[in-house]
């Protein structure tokens, strides 16, 4: 998997005729029993999309989004999945728009769950969890990918207040700054 990732990043057009085989080889491991392998597949999906966006959108976007949604429901893969969703959105740009409603719903659900989980922590513990950082990064990248189109997908229906409900953190400040920059 790592070799394919390096080939995608460093060989230019060499991998273009081999793109379908590379995608199929990576996706073959999405249900592997080892967590590291599954997380590597998650991390490589945006790399595939960035390498050949049109081919990826045409053949693999739907299955990849479904896989990332599934992985986001597992705590060990949640943070990596949301970061991959954001990176995927940047790679495919406006092609992500049909999936925005579901992505925003999943981000909201994960934010609510993080608030519940953080409320159970002792007060001196940081509320800026790895999952919160991943959710905020995902939202920032979604804003970068689709700009104001994000507003049409319940962005203004309480999502910002849900983002702030876990307290002020460095990652929240960065996310709000990015949202402001990409959504005038």
pLDDT score, position 98:
94
The pLDDT tens digits of the residues spanning 123-135 come to 444 456 888 899 9
The pLDDT tens digits of the residues spanning 43-100 come to 999 999 999 999 999 999 999 999 999 999 998 999 999 999 999 999 999 999 999 9
The dihedral sign for the CA sequence 16, 18, 21, 26: negative
Asked whether 45 and 84 are in contact (CB, 8 A), the reply is: yes
**In which band, very low, low, confident or very high, does the pLDDT at 169 lie, cut at 50, 70 and 90?**
confident
Say what the pTM is: 0.87
């Amino acid at each position: 998997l790592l070799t394919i990732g390096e080939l995608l990043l460093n060989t230019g057009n060499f991998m273009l005729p081999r793109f379908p085989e590379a995608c199929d080889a990576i996706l073959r491991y999405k249900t592997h029993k080892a967590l590291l392998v599954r997380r590597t597949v998650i991390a490589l999906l945006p790399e595939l999309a960035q390498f050949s966006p049109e081919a990826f959108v045409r053949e693999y976007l739907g299955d990849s989004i479904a896989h990332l949604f599934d992985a986001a429901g597992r705590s060990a893969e949640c943070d990596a999945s949301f970061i991959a969703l954001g990176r995927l959105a940047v790679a495919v740009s406006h092609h992500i728009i049909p999936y925005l409603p579901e992505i925003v719903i999943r981000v909201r659900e994960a934010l609510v769950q993080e608030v519940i989980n953080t409320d159970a922590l002792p007060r001196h513990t940081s509320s800026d969890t790895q999952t919160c950082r991943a959710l905020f990064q995902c939202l920032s990248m979604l804003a970068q990918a689709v700009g104001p189109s994000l507003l049409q997908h319940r962005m203004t229906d309480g999502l910002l207040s849900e983002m702030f409900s876990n307290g002020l953190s460095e990652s929240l400040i960065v996310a709000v700054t990015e949202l402001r920059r990409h959504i005038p």
